[in-house]
Amino acid sequence: MSNSIGMKSGNSQSGKRNTEKANRQWLWISIAPAVIFLAALTIFPIFNLIGLSVHAVEWEGGKAVYDYVGMRNFKDLFAQDPVFWVGVKNTIVFAVCAVTFQMLLGFSMALAVSRAGQVGRGILTTIFLLPIVLPPIVIGAMWRLLMGRDFGALNGIVTSLGFAPVDWLGNPSLALASVIFVDVWHWTPFVFLLILAGLESLDQEVFEAAKLDVKGFWQELKFITLPLMMPTIIITMVLRIILSFKVFDEIYLLTSGGPGTATEVVNFTIYRVFFGQDRVGAGSAMSIVTLVGLVLLITFSQVIMRRFRKGASV
Amino acid sequence: MNIQKHGGKIAANSLVWGYALIILVPIIWVVSNSFKRQIDILTGKTFAPFTWSNYESLLFSRQSDFLGNLLNSVIISSIATTAVIMIATMAAYTLVRLNPPKWVKWMLLGWALFFHMLPTLTFVGSWFIMFSSVGLHGTYFAMISTLIVMNLPVALFLMVTFTEAVPVEIIQAARMDGCNSRQTFFQVVFPLVRGGMIAAAALVFIFAWSDFSVAVVLTSKDTMTVPVAIATFAQEFEIKYGEMAAGSVLSMIPAITLILFGQKFVVRGLLAGAVK
Amino acid sequence: MKHETLKKSVRTTAFIAASIAALAVPAYADGDQPDISIVINQSPWLDSFISVVDRYEEETGNKIELDVTPFGGLLEKIRNSVRADVGTYDIVNVNALWLTEIYAGGFLSPLTDIRDGYTLAEGVLDYGATTHWNHETNSFDTSADLMGIPLNGNVQVLYYRSDLYEEAGLSAPTTWDELAANAAALHEPPSTYGFVPRAARNAVVYNFTPYLYSQGGSVFEDPASGNFNVTINSPEALTALETYLHLTSEVAPENPGAIAQGELIQLLATGKAAQAIAVIGAWGNLENPDKSAVVGLINAALIPSGPGGSASAAGHWVGGIPNNISDERQEAAMAFLDWFVSQDVQIGYVEAGGVPIRGDLAETSIGSDDRFRFIEAYGQNAANAVMALPLKEGAQVSDALALRLNQAVIGEISATDALNAMAADTLKILTDAGYEVTSLSDL
């Protein structure tokens, strides 16, 4: 993917040397800030996490006592934790459904807006971006009220249409779907924004040239737009999947993992164990296991996207 | 053929405006809540007596300093976002086009991804210890640095994607004209990825602004940010929906202003004619 | 980029300088004690606490700084402060659920270390011995060290609609059967629910506690003396759970397994709940016309009794003094706490909207004030306050119990299976933590 620009400018020998030197300097200067921040602020925490996962930490007499337990935290997870694996399943279902809907909706809206006139574009973009501008805690609290069984506006609409009120968040079979709905409402703007930026930066000349070969909206979409947008689509999808695995605020305020374990997601379990129960060793082990699962899921989705890409390219 | 096209257009329009409605209605509801008493919000009344009490309680009560919190959020988020985008764009161009040693690219991006995939909550404790031990707890510096590092992975990946989209021919043309790497970056690449930078900056700003789990631990009373302030309304046994709504309305204003303002910079077909 | 860095450096330096300056010297006000700082959560009763603090500052000239934090961040802040080498806060406001963690961790100074021979004044409630901690048995024990003073007395009471009772000719129930009968009489969904439980997973253990203890059941055999044998799957517990499930399935809203604090208060405040067992702290909201549709129509009563008497789960707050602050500040914190418990101050506290930490206010001026008609029932319930999980691993056990209870409520498993699973899970947690305990045989 990356091309090396081998040509050097300047006519004189010293000119060439100066440019080489400047280029080498620039190479390292440009990467330095990123490296420094990552090194300074992530190395200690991550190694701390890995270290914690093979310990059990207790506090006695005001001091921490680290007890090496080897793989016990991991073994416990795999042996019989009733809640963690339900959480993993829920999280995967949640991530797949939510991200799919977000991608479809976000892409369609970005497409629509990029073709709209000046005024429509401005209004629609502002509206479409509103959900991510709201504080997450408010989104959770707000939808909890709206989906409330007795007083929620959603049921207000449902009953005015003649149906019985639905307990969107209290009914175990509906709870996860409701949470997914809220997540899609919340995060589609993310997809919308990135796809729109991607669409806007496409070279219009390609579209002009292709007008001779492709006829109509769908053909243009399938043979030109999608293949050109693939990199943006993939990165958006990967980021959304990762962020879905990290979902917390919505769950906390909407359902707190209930009813039963219907909306238990991994990040919430980790929160309860690591933070609520103060079992940092077990919580760290959970984080690492989740990380592995996430890597697998992303790799899997990449494979699928690559197949799709092969099929769609001209 | 025409009818089909027309029908398609109507369907598309209804979809778009339908979706816009689904977004707008709950938000308008939140705004209206900020002017209602709590009992009216709880009973789901659409029309209720108007009251300023939520805003009064938010802005003037003894324990709240909401305008100060807004200012803190603006300062912290703006600085963090600007820094992250600059750092990420510079690094992205280098990684993608300047052929650094392979291991550098893999290490940097790989580590960033690895870090991004772990839950933030597990790091907050470590960061608290780190900053407290040098006496920087509760400072802008602590919050800003943490926000930078938290958003660096997303920014890096986005800018790598956008930078890869810049055609190689343009870079080569710049080299032929006598630019070195730094000049190529600032004068040629930078303007071309501007659209992507704006989009990434918007997202990073929103992430930085909305952060709660780090802010609650790393900020002190003086540097408290808006999400922490709003979270005080989600209490142990009551959610103060009215004040929360009022806080959200005020919190949305800076962000919406930026969106309206930023739209000017996203120009269609930036690359058209650039190769020429 | 350079410009940003420069601006940042200047700002950083300024802040570092300011922080160091602020930390350097303990500020003294007009009074004879150094300033102290209390970390506390935002809550409906915060304003009443602030008024008490204001009064202290006026009367003594000593200054108190309050760091008000969202509830969701308070535990983290307390932990960070007490675990550090030098603490930020001089009094930490610890919720009942976190007490065992903070006590067992050895972070607080026993009050007798700060003031020789100090004891809890007569009339001050101890909420199930939670003001004391025994470091040997690792549990609450009134004969052991006094570790803190309660700052807010949030216990459960039985709420009921006095107007609905009057209409239907009912009176406050003294037994669970009477409660169920009252509920059946008033249950008319969806306009009125006879009884509203708080059976969501994050609340059900707390909600179930009175039922369990009123039957003479308990989670552990005798925690105060260090006996943590698991007794949750006893016949008494089964009776308790069956009582609870009867209420949740017959006279409660649909899907009670999803009702948490927010919904419970909403149903009470909007008038849909006829009866409920909830914390007394909600009283202020229910009497506020901006937040409640039933002002003046609510009353509080003693929670129904069973063969084991009446019990109320404690959800109160205890103020402790960390041991990582200077002696002067400890003494200043002690001065405040000691001043706080007097009857006069507590009366003022109630009048400002707080929940008192004394049980002897019914005979005072506020006992006859209709605005505070909850005082007597509160005192009675507070005297019966219990902590179901008085051990260091309490949070973990609570999560395990909560899962099964919630599953029983939503009908996923039977009551017997739930209790047996709870016993097995608790036993495993305890044995993994090094306790040598047994459990009862399966029901």
CB A129 within 8 A of CB B259: yes
- Give residues 69 to 128 of A whose Cβ lies within 8 Å of B: 105, 108-109, 112-114, 122, 124-128
pLDDT of C404 above 70: yes
Q: In terms of pLDDT, which residue wins out, B64 or A228?
A: A228
pLDDT-derived band of residue C21, with 50, 70 and 90 as boundaries?
A: very low
CB C14 within 8 A of CB B147: no
pLDDT bin (cut points 50, 70, 90) of residue B273 is very low
Helix (H, G, I), strand (E, B) or coil at B174: helix
> B132, B65 in Cβ contact below 8 A?
no
Check pLDDT > 90 for residue B179: no
Would you call C261 an interface residue with chain B, using a CB distance cutoff of 8 Å?
Answer: yes
A–B: how many Cβ contacts below 8 A?
Answer: 288
pLDDT, tens digit, for every residue of A40-49? Answer: 999 999 999 9
Do A160 and A252 fall into the same domain? yes
How does DSSP classify residue C280?
G
Query: Strand, coil or helix: what is A179?
Result: helix
What is the mean pLDDT of the segment spanning A188-211? 86
Q: With contacts defined as CB-CB under 8 Å, which chain B residues touch C262?
A: 237-239
> Mean per-residue pLDDT for C245-263?
93
CB atoms < 10 A from the CB of C237, how many? 27
Q: Does A2 sit within 8 Å of B241, measured CB to CB?
A: no
Minimum distance, in Å, between the CA of residue B120 and any CA atom of chain C? 14
Cβ atoms A269, A87 nearer than 8 A: yes
Nearest-5° Cα angle at C277, C393 to C343 = 85
Cα A281 from Cα A268, distance rounded (Å):
16
Q: Residue C92 pairs with which residues in a beta bridge?
A: C39, C320
In this predicted structure, which of A119-123, A131-135, B135-139, C283-287 has the lowest mean pLDDT? A119-123
Q: With cut-offs at 50, 70 and 90, classify the pLDDT of residue B18.
A: very high
Phi-psi region of B178 (alpha: psi -120 to 50; beta: other; left: phi over 0): left
With a cut of 90, say whether residue C425 has pLDDT above it: yes
Judge: C16–B235 Cβ closer than 8 Å, yes or no.
no
State pLDDT tens for residues C341-357. 999 999 999 999 899 99
Give chains near B: 3+ CB pairs under 8 A: A, C
- CB-based contact B237 C282, cutoff 8 Å: yes
Chain B residues closer than 8 Å to A271 by CB: 119, 121
Q: At what angle do helices B66-97 and C2-24 cross, to 10 degrees?
A: 140
CA angle C296, C298, C299 (to 5 degrees): 115
Give residue-wise pLDDT tens across range C102-144.
999 999 999 999 999 999 999 999 999 999 999 988 889 999 9
Q: Which residues contact C268 (CB under 8 A, 6 or more apart)?
A: C159, C196, C276, C278, C282, C286, C292, C294, C298
Mean of pLDDT values over C176-189: 95
- The predicted-structure confidence for A121-149, as pLDDT tens digits, reads as follows 888 888 999 999 998 989 999 999 999 98
Query: Is residue A301 a part of any domain in this protein?
Result: yes
d(CA C11, CA C17): 10
Beta strand C132-133 pairing with C145-146:
antiparallel
| ipTM of the complex as predicted | 0.89
> Would you state the pLDDT for residue B186?
85
- In 3-state terms, what secondary structure has residue C242? helix
What's chain A's average pLDDT? 87
**φ, ψ of residue C314 in degrees (nearest 5):** -90, 130
For residue C224, pLDDT over 70 is answered with: yes
Question: Which strand (E) or helix (H) includes residue C319?
Answer: strand C317-320
Q: Does C196 touch chain B (CB under 8 A)?
A: no
Q: Across chain B, what does the average pLDDT equal?
A: 87
Asked if the Cβ–Cβ distance from B231 to C1 is below 8 Å, we say: no
**Phi, psi dihedrals of residue C94, rounded to the nearest 5°:** -105, 130
Residue pair C319/C40 in contact (Cβ under 8 Å)? The answer is: no
Q: How many angstroms separate the CA of residue C144 from the nearest CA in chain B?
A: 30
Is B232–C69 a contact, with Cβ atoms under 8 angstroms apart?
Answer: yes
Roughly how many angstroms between the first and final C-alpha of chain C, as a whole number? 70
Q: Are residues A62 and C272, on separate chains, in Cβ contact within 8 Å? A: no
In chain B, whose CA is at the least distance from the CA of A290?
Answer: B118
Interface of C with B in 266-305 (CB under 8 A): 266, 269-270, 278-279, 281-282, 285, 289-293
Task: Report yes or no: A276 at the B interface, CB cutoff 8 Å.
Answer: no
CB C249 within 8 A of CB C194: no
Give the torsion through C-alpha atoms of A150, A154, A158, A161, to 10 deg: 120
**Distance of alpha carbon C160 from alpha carbon C216, whole angstroms:** 25
Share of chain C above pLDDT 70, in %: 93
- Cβ–Cβ gap C412/A275 under 8 Å: no
Is A245 found in the same domain as A177? yes
Whether C24 shows a pLDDT value over 50: the answer reads: no
List all residues 6 or more positions away from A159 whose beta carbon is below 8 Å from its beta carbon: A165
Residues A102 and A37 both lie in one domain: no
| Three-state secondary-structure class, residue A156 | helix
- Nearest CB partner across the interface for A130, out of B27, B91, B239: B27
Q: Which of A19, A200, A220, A301 to mutate to test the interface with B (most CBs of B within 10 A)?
A: A200
pLDDT grade for C23, boundaries at 50, 70 and 90 = very low
Residues 57-76 of A with CB under 8 A from B: none
Do B274 and A205 touch, CB atoms closer than 8 A? Answer: no
Q: What is the pLDDT of residue A241?
A: 93
Higher pLDDT, residue C443 or B35: B35
> Residue B255: pLDDT above 90?
no
Domain assignment of residue A161, yes or no: yes
Within chain A, where are the H helices? 13-52, 72-80, 82-115, 118-133, 136-146, 153-160, 172-200, 204-210, 217-220, 226-245, 249-254, 266-270, 280-312
C186 close to C194: Cβ distance less than 8 angstroms: yes
- Residue C243 forms contact with B (CB below 8 Å): no
Of C323, C324, C333, the C-alpha closest to C38 is: C333
Measure in Å the smallest separation between the Cα of B2 and chain A Cα atoms. Answer: 12
CATH code of A122's domain:
1.10.3720.10
Q: Does the beta-carbon distance from C253 to A63 stay under 8 Å?
A: no
Do A81 and A183 share a structural domain?
Answer: yes
Element (DSSP H or E) covering residue C91: strand C91-95
- Are the C-beta atoms of residues B145 and B214 closer than 8 Å to each other? no
Answer for the pair A210, A282: CB distance below 8 angstroms, yes or no: no
Condensed to tens digits (0 to 9), the pLDDT of residues A11-25 reads 567 777 788 888 888
CATH fold group of domain B62-270: MetI-like fold (1.10.3720)
Same domain, A95 and A35: no
- Shared-domain flag, residues A134 and A212: yes
Provide the pLDDT for residue C7: 53
Can you give the pLDDT at residue A1? 40
Q: C255 vs chain A: nearest CA distance in angstroms? A: 6
3-state secondary structure of A247: coil
CA distance B261 to B255: 10
Chain C residues in contact with A279 by the CB 8 A cut-off are 396
Three-class SS of residue C309?
Answer: strand
In chain A, how long is the greatest CA-to-CA distance? 85
Residue A78 sits in the same domain as residue A38: no
Compute and round to an integer the Cα radius of gyration of chain B: 23
Instruction: Tell me which residue in A10, A109, A280 faces B16 most closely, judged by beta carbons.
Output: A109
> Is there a contact between B20 and A128 if contact means CB atoms under 8 Å apart?
yes
Overall number of domains in chain A? 2
Residues A77 and A220 in one domain: yes
Residue A242 CA: distances (Å) to CA of A50, A88, A98, B113, C228? 20, 14, 12, 10, 42
Suggest the residue from A1, A23, A26, A291 to mutate for an interface test with chain B (most B CBs closer than 10 A): A26
> C-alpha angle C157/C161/C162, rounded to 5°?
105
User: Considering chain C, what is the average pLDDT of its residues?
Assistant: 90
Across the interface, of C79, C253, C258, the residue whose CB is closest to A259 is C258
Residue C25 predicted with pLDDT over 60: no
Q: Kindly indicate the confidence band of residue B276, based on its pLDDT and cuts at 50, 70 and 90.
A: very low
Q: Are residues A128 and A12 in the same domain?
A: no
pLDDT tens digits along C136-169: 888 899 999 999 999 999 999 999 999 999 999 9
Query: Do C403 and A151 make contact, defined as CB atoms within 8 angstroms?
Result: no
Distance from the Cα of B7 to chain A's closest Cα (Å) equals 13
Q: Which residue has the higher pLDDT, B271 or B61?
A: B61
Rounded CA-CA distance C249/A12 in Å is 90
Q: Which residue of B has its CA nearest to A48?
A: B126
Q: In terms of C-beta density within 10 A (0-12 exposed, 13-18 middle, 19 or more buried), how is residue A96 classed?
A: middle
Contact C155, C130 (CB under 8 A): no
Of residues B118, B168, B181, nearest to A27 (C-beta) = B181
Is the same domain home to A20 and A144? no
| pTM score of the predicted model | 0.89
State how far residue A245 is from chain C, nearest Cα, in angstroms: 21
CA B207 to chain C, closest CA, distance in angstroms equals 19
Domain span including residue A29: 2-42
B274 pLDDT above the threshold of 70? no
Closest partner residue to B152 (CB to CB) among A27, A38, A132 is A38
pLDDT of residue C11: 55
A96/A208 same-domain check: yes
User: Would you give the DSSP letter of residue C273?
Assistant: B
SS3 C146: strand
**Residue A280: inside a domain:** yes
pLDDT at residue A312, as a whole number: 52
Taking residues A178-189, report their average pLDDT: 96
Contact by Cβ (8 Å): C418, C238:
no
A138 touches chain B (CB under 8 A): yes
Q: What pLDDT is recorded for position A8?
A: 46
Q: How confident is the model at residue C78 (pLDDT cuts 50, 70, 90)?
A: very high
Residue C2 has pLDDT above 70, yes or no: no
A270 closest CB neighbour out of B119, B149, B154: B119
Q: Which helix (H) or strand (E) holds C424?
A: helix C415-432
Give the model confidence (pLDDT) of B229-240 as tens digits: 998 888 777 888
**For residue C323, what is the nearest residue in chain A, using CA coordinates?**
A62
Asked whether C70 and B234 are in contact (CB, 8 A), the reply is yes
Mean pLDDT of the region B153-175: 89
Name the residue among C271, A141, C296 with its Cα closest to residue B248: A141
Using a CB-CB cut-off of 8 Å, the residues of chain A touching C70 are none
User: A170 vs C254: CB contact, 8 Å cut-off?
Assistant: yes
Confidence of residue C245 (pLDDT cuts 50, 70, 90): very high
Q: Does A22 touch chain B (CB under 8 A)?
A: yes
Of B83, B132, B139, the CB nearest to C12: B139
The average pLDDT across C370-384 equals 92
CA distance B133 to chain A (A): 14
**How far is C257 from chain A, CA to nearest CA, in Å?**
6
Interface of A with C (CB under 8 A): 59-64, 82-83, 144, 148-151, 165, 167, 169-172, 175, 255-261, 272, 275-279
Q: Let me know if residue A67 belongs to a domain.
A: no
* pLDDT band at residue C368 using 50, 70 and 90 as cut-offs: confident
- Tell whether A29 and A86 lie within a shared domain: no
Choose the most confident range, by mean pLDDT, from A252-256, A293-297, C59-63, C158-162.
C158-162
